[in-house]
Amino acid sequence: MSSQKETIIKIDVPGTGRNSSKTEINILCLDITPYSQLTQFLCCSAFVFICYLAYGYFLELIFSVPEVKPVSLYITLIQFLITMLLSYIESLIRNPIKRKVPLKTYAILAALTLGTMSFSNLALSYLNYPTQLIFKSCKLIPVMIGSIIILGKRYGFLDYVAAIIMCVGLTMFTLADSKTSPNFDVIGVIVISLALLCDAIIGNVQEKAMKQFQASNNEVVFYSYAIACVYLVAITSVTGIFVDGFVYCSQTPITTYTNIFLLSVSGYMGLQAVLTLVRICGATVAVTVTTMRKALSIVISFLLFSKPFVFQYAWSGMLVALAIYLNHYSKKHPHYIPMPIARCWHYLQSFYQSEYRYLTIKSKIYSDTV
């Protein structure tokens, strides 16, 4: 009996001990498991900065041209096809894709992915890239509104403060862009708001699907983009955008398709680096790195692409960054309320209760007298 117990212990320890703690950590098939956590963090951060800075550059280079506005869906289709192929190639190198999530769920994810990417790309035809980036950083606002209305969720004090600061910063940044940008259009604000709405919904759907069916990141990316490609082929074929886009890209095929390819590769590599960073250091650290990357992307956009700069861009962008920090700080301290505000609130509550008791007693005396 004792020997059986010892055997069971020896079998269980390897499965739950050393081997499980040393999970393999990869960045695009590059194994960085043997290195320290600091080295892994620096490698992931470097990938995030380099890939997403390149992604922002090629995105603005392609979609800021006025002629691309009517054929933006065709370029988005090529981008989706390349991303799908990259995901499939990675699965051949690492692990084959085995679908676990129902196709109905992927159909919804594909529609949301299509909405996010196509609206984001189209918005660059109406807005500056910094303004588009600031809007995409403000996902907190539609997420909070949707959670309150649909789920009845309650948020802490810092979440509401972050949402208010974010709204102010976003408004000021948009007003600055409307005054200084020659290609500013209110339609761009509507389009990027739709992209933001899709982006806010897609995160919840992806999280639910991955937790419920234990699906891998590669599976979700592949099937979402593959079905979205089917949608895009149908839409562009019916509307005639497919032919117009092909004609447009055929004018300078090498330059155009090379830029789209580099855009897709840099975006895919950046996404994988962010996912690895979340796995190593957690979501808060990953968001901090990506926020710093966005700030640097805005600076580089002003340097590389000629556009007027006013100081209102700087302080409104800092307000948005502060709001993002407060939002993530509130996740660690959900019940935090500054001491002066807490004291004022307690004072108002005690004052209300004392006045309520006083009025109750007075009304009772009055009723007894009458």
**pLDDT tens readout for residues 174-214:** 666 666 665 567 788 888 888 888 877 776 677 677 677 77
Name which of 49-63, 71-85, 92-106, 325-339 the model is least confident about: 325-339
Q: What is the DSSP letter of 126?
A: T
Q: Taking 90 as the threshold, does the pLDDT of residue 272 lie above it? A: no
The CA distance from 28 to 268, in Å, is: 9
d(C-alpha 19, C-alpha 302), whole Å: 48
The model's pTM is 0.68
Q: What does 336-349 look like in DSSP terms, one character per residue? A: ---HHHHHHHHHHH
Q: Cα separation of 1 and 6, whole Å?
A: 9
Q: What is the pLDDT of residue 242?
A: 94
Q: From CA 280, how far away is CA 32, in angstroms rounded?
A: 11
- Alpha-carbon span 48 to 321, nearest angstrom: 18
pLDDT tens profile 104-120: 888 998 998 899 888 88
- Indicate if the pLDDT at residue 122 is higher than 80: yes
> For the residues 224-239, what does the mean pLDDT come to?
93
Residue 26 DSSP SS3:
strand
Question: Which pLDDT belongs to residue 219?
Answer: 83
